Amino acid sequence: MASALINVPVTAKRGDVIEIKTLISHVMETGFRHTMTGAVIPRNIVTDFSCRYNGVEVFRAELFSAFSANPFIAFFTTATESGTFEFRWSGDNGFIETASASITVA
Amino acid sequence: MRTIVALLVATTLTAATLTTFRGRASEIPQADRRSGSTFMSPQTQAMQNDDTSNPGMLWVLDGNALWAKKTGIADRACMDCHGDARQSMRGVATKYPAFDEALARPVDLEQRVNLCRVNHQQASPLAYESRDLLALTALIGNQSRGLPIAPGADPRLAPFVAKGRELFMRRQGQLNLGCTNCHDDNWDKRLAGSAVTQAHPTGYPLYRLEWQGLGSLQRRLRNCMVGMRAQPYEADAPETVALELFLMSRAQGMPIETPAVRP
């Protein structure tokens, strides 16, 4: 049951710098841990995150084993026009999660 | 492993200090009562207070989906009987653990969800600390956010509160500590760098950064008992519910924060 929480301002003035906050549900298993019997617990993490603003990529991040569970990523961008932010997380074992949020720029 | 050893050494030293110099066990005056969140750094408080940065809200989100999902032989969802959780579950968590007529003893929220599942949905009970059970209890708890904790109005609960109080005061384990020795007498001090706090269960189930996940009050209690090197109670043990009930009655009037964030 993957799920994401997104916080994008509903409205903004043209040229405003806005903060976007994202939170995704994920175990982020490092791949460095072992079970009681010594077997390695395979790595299972989110490896890529990107945000597109009306189709144009405005933010991208690569994630590694040191990230904690349920990664929280916040970043800033400039509000240029009304439209949609599309978020995409991808990772090990074919993990893909998408979310979107819209903004009205006056 | 090294961290655990260091922590145990630190715990032993502190415990030795506690038992040597602080023998009293007095209750916290009403005016001095504080939620665990007031001991946290401003950053962790900000994380709890913003629903889009509070990771516990991910479980609430899951709980919402489960609330509407039909399950069991009866093929019923929680929603089919209880309707919209936002209305029907408002204030419910403030009264738990509550007295169950059929069992003639108090049950906590986890047990109530499972009783509902077994009796009304004819489904198998959910395992303690399973994602689904935490999600449902987080959803229910979240509906009481900001409302004052008000358990134990039922006079039949009195002996169980007394039992819980006795367990809270009783010294046990290899370190020979009672809950009260830390949480009544030394809540304003630190234990291995962490605030001791007053043990008011205002935000369960809560997201602990150390756990990297959500956990119930029972899990927290087991944590504490392992820390004082006592034998933790079984998940279903009456002692656990009695302790939960006493802790909630001790936190009477304090607002619910579910899902809280703790370090």
The pLDDT value given to residue B25: 57
The pLDDT value given to residue B68: 96
Q: Whole-angstrom Cα distance, residue B32 to residue B170?
A: 23
Quick one: closest CA in B to A25, which residue?
B58
Ramachandran quadrant class, B111 (left: phi over 0; alpha: psi -120 to 50; beta: rest): alpha
The pLDDT value given to residue B20: 42
User: Which contiguous run of DSSP H or E holds residue B122?
Assistant: none
Cross-chain residue pair A21–B57, CB shorter than 8 Å: no
Active site residue B224: yes
The pLDDT value given to residue A1: 55
* Minimum distance, in Å, between the CA of residue B107 and any CA atom of chain A: 28
Residues of A with CB under 8 A from a CB of B: 1, 3, 5-7, 21, 23, 25, 28, 68-70, 72, 74
Q: Which of B78, B116, B182, B224 is catalytic?
A: B224
Q: Whole-angstrom Cα distance, residue B113 to residue B89?
A: 12
Quick one: closest CA in B to A3, which residue?
B58
The pLDDT value given to residue B231: 94
Q: Whole-angstrom Cα distance, residue A86 to residue A100?
A: 4
Q: Whole-angstrom Cα distance, residue A75 to residue A60?
A: 10
Write the ipTM: 0.88
Q: What's the one-letter identity of residue B46? A: A
Q: Whole-angstrom Cα distance, residue B260 to residue B262?
A: 7
Task: Return mean pLDDT, chain A.
Answer: 95
Across the interface, of A1, A23, A28, the residue whose CB is closest to B52 is: A23
Q: Which of B249, B194, B240 lies closest to B217 in space, CA to CA?
A: B240
Residues B170/B223, Cβ–Cβ less than 8 Å: no
Q: Which of A73, A57, A86, A90 lies closest to A19 in space, CA to CA?
A: A73
Across the interface, of A23, A69, A72, the residue whose CB is closest to B212 is: A69
Across the interface, of A3, A6, A70, the residue whose CB is closest to B52 is: A6
Average pLDDT value for residue range A74-94: 96
Most A CBs within 10 A among B44, B53, B206, B210, hence the mutation to make, goes to B53
- The pLDDT tens digits of the residues spanning A43-55 come to 999 999 999 999 9
If DSSP codes are grouped into helix, strand and coil, which group holds residue B60?
Answer: helix
The pLDDT value given to residue B151: 84
Average pLDDT value for residue range A56-76: 96
∠ CA B161-B208-B90, nearest 5°, is 55
Residues of chain B positioned with their CB less than 8 A from the CB of A72: 53, 55
Cross-chain residue pair A3–B209, CB shorter than 8 Å: no
- The pLDDT tens digits of the residues spanning B25-40 come to 578 988 899 999 999 9
Cross-chain residue pair B61–A3, CB shorter than 8 Å: yes
Average pLDDT value for residue range A81-86: 96
The pLDDT value given to residue B84: 96
Q: Whole-angstrom Cα distance, residue B180 to residue B163?
A: 14
If DSSP codes are grouped into helix, strand and coil, which group holds residue B13?
Answer: helix
Residue ranges in chain B whose pLDDT is less than 70: 1-25
**Phi, then psi, of A24 in degrees rounded to 5:** -120, 140
What is the percentage of chain A residues whose pLDDT exceeds 90?
96
Query: With bands split at pLDDT 50, 70 and 90, how would you rate the model's confidence at A3?
Result: confident
Q: What would the DSSP string read from start to end of B166-212?
A: HHHH--BTTTTB-HHHHHTTSTTSEETTEE-------S-SEEETTTT
Q: Whole-angstrom Cα distance, residue B91 to residue B73?
A: 29
Cross-chain residue pair B61–A69, CB shorter than 8 Å: no
Cross-chain residue pair A3–B50, CB shorter than 8 Å: no
The pLDDT value given to residue B17: 47
Quick one: closest CA in B to A70, which residue?
B55
Residues of chain A positioned with their CB less than 8 A from the CB of B212: 28, 68-70
